[in-house]
Amino acid sequence: MLEIRKRNTIVALDIGTSYIKAAMAEVIVGQDINLLGISRVPSRGMRKGNIVDIESAAKAVEACLNDLERLTGIEINNAVLGFSGGSISSLNNHAAVAIGNPNSEISRDDKERVLQSAHSISLPADKTIVQTVERQYIVDGYEGVMDPVGMVGSRLEAEVTIITAATAAIQNLYRCASRVNLHINSLLYNSLLAGEAVLVPAEKEMGVVLVDIGAGTTDVAFFENGSLADTSVIPMGDEYLAKDLAIVLKTSMEEAARILEKSGAANPKTVDSELMINVRNIQGKDVKQVPQETIAEIISARLIELVELIYAELKEFDCLDRIPSGIVLTGGGAEMSGIVELFEQYLDMPVRIGLPENLRGMAREFNRTQYAVVLGGVLYGTRVMGNHAKEAPLFTGFLDRILDWLKDLFR
């Protein structure tokens, strides 16, 4: 039977196209974050990061949360939920207000006013703002202010990045959670969560691009001056690689996915040209041998196409000459052998794998790029808990919501 203990825990959930992942961490205020467990189950009812069948998706989410409850012995009612999907887009906005206070001290109300004004964009009815990232404030022309409250000035400006998504996609996520009686504390954009887990502040300050290669989508996010500056989601992920392998090798998608994970390589020149891989036919019976080099050739052709699409996004962001910290790769696709070299070769900039490392109690098996989002979720939640609230207002409104939630939690 499930032992229900009252502890200060945070749960994060990542509903991906191929896997649903959940993580729970315990918050010991003033100490490290203690990871209590991670669970992962195959996804159902998802397509390119969006829910297409709520019933199936909800069952898979329930299975994932049940696994985590069994693992930790702690009942789950709330979670920080990551979101992404092909409908995501971002835009930068700017607003300015005059400070009416006679002593010119900027109040919380002034900050809210300028943020409200920065929020005011017209969107079609099927699109909704899901998150606003405060990039910086400008007080009387002085840039780089992170929190203007208490400062003196007569003119306050705010620069924000607004992330939008399809209204239906967000509603479906909430519906899915409510089917399993899960209360969503906060919905946060996946790349911000993955960035929380794998990027260091200096990288975000200098300019870095986080590329999360999932099964159905690839998220590209440019961070600069400490915060997210631009992002977009390419509707292509590792599924395409598996599909290519299935077609060329005349096998099933399951077999192709297995080969991709076990014997996939991004660069045909680096694999042993003598090495042969067993491939089952489409009925799953006869086995034929295929050189690993051939498999790598199929994979690299598609990955080069993905790199070209990423390059096009970076051009669109107009940031190509402002990425000194290079590219950091996360998501299951980043586990492909030789992927760093392929990206380096085609993008001509430093590339590294983004492993989520800074959690106590984390077994080695979880130190994988595909857990970056979910571990970022617990890290973010616990960072807010751990008296680091001054850094939190990355997300408008999130701090207030999470603090309300924490009040409940600690009651």
Binding interface with ligand ATP (CB under 6 A)? 16-19, 43, 49, 214-217, 237-239, 257, 260-261, 264, 331-333, 335-336, 370
Contact 231, 256 (CB under 8 A): no
Half-sphere exposure of 117 (CA within 13 A, CB side): 15
Please say which residue, 137 or 240, places its beta carbon nearer to ligand ATP: 240
Please say which residue, 268 or 331, places its beta carbon nearer to ligand ATP: 331
Contact 42, 215 (CB under 8 A): no
Amino acid at 164: T
Among the candidate windows 140-148, 207-215, 220-228, 399-407, which touches Mg ion by CB under 5 A? Answer: 207-215
**Partner from ligand ATP, Mg ion, none binding residue 370, C-beta < 5-8 Å depending on class:** ligand ATP
Please say which residue, 90 or 217, places its beta carbon nearer to ligand ATP: 217
Decide if residue 214 touches Mg ion (CB under 5 A): yes
**Partner from Mg ion, ligand ATP, none binding residue 267, C-beta < 5-8 Å depending on class:** none
Please say which residue, 64 or 402, places its beta carbon nearer to ligand ATP: 64
Half-sphere exposure of 5 (CA within 13 A, CB side): 11
**Residue 88: CB partners within 8 Å, gap ≥ 6?**
163, 164, 165, 189, 219, 231, 232, 233
Contact 95, 163 (CB under 8 A): no
Please say which residue, 21 or 113, places its beta carbon nearer to Mg ion: 21
Please say which residue, 214 or 377, places its beta carbon nearer to Mg ion: 214
* CA distance linking residue 354 with residue 203, whole number of Å: 12
Tokens of 102: 């006679």
**Least distance from ligand ATP to the Cβ atom of residue 375, Å:** 12
**Partner from Mg ion, ligand ATP, none binding residue 195, C-beta < 5-8 Å depending on class:** none
**Least distance from ligand ATP to the Cβ atom of residue 404, Å:** 29
Assign 109 to helix, strand or coil. helix
Q: Which residues sit opposite 392 in a β-bridge?
A: none
Please say which residue, 268 or 332, places its beta carbon nearer to Mg ion: 332
**Least distance from ligand ATP to the Cβ atom of residue 379, Å:** 17
**Partner from ligand ATP, Mg ion, none binding residue 264, C-beta < 5-8 Å depending on class:** ligand ATP
Binding positions for Mg ion, 2-61, rule CB under 5 A: 16
* CA distance linking residue 313 with residue 167, whole number of Å: 23
**Least distance from ligand ATP to the Cβ atom of residue 191, Å:** 10
**Least distance from ligand ATP to the Cβ atom of residue 131, Å:** 17
Distance from chain centroid for Cα 136? 22
**Partner from Mg ion, ligand ATP, none binding residue 164, C-beta < 5-8 Å depending on class:** none
Distance separating the N- and C-terminal Cα atoms of the chain: 26
Decide if residue 356 touches Mg ion (CB under 5 A): no
For residue 349, count other CB atoms closer than 10 A to its CB. Answer: 15
**Partner from ligand ATP, Mg ion, none binding residue 261, C-beta < 5-8 Å depending on class:** ligand ATP
Phi-psi region of 75 (alpha: psi -120 to 50; beta: other; left: phi over 0): beta
* CA distance linking residue 370 with residue 278, whole number of Å: 26
- List contacts with Mg ion (CB under 5 A): 16, 214
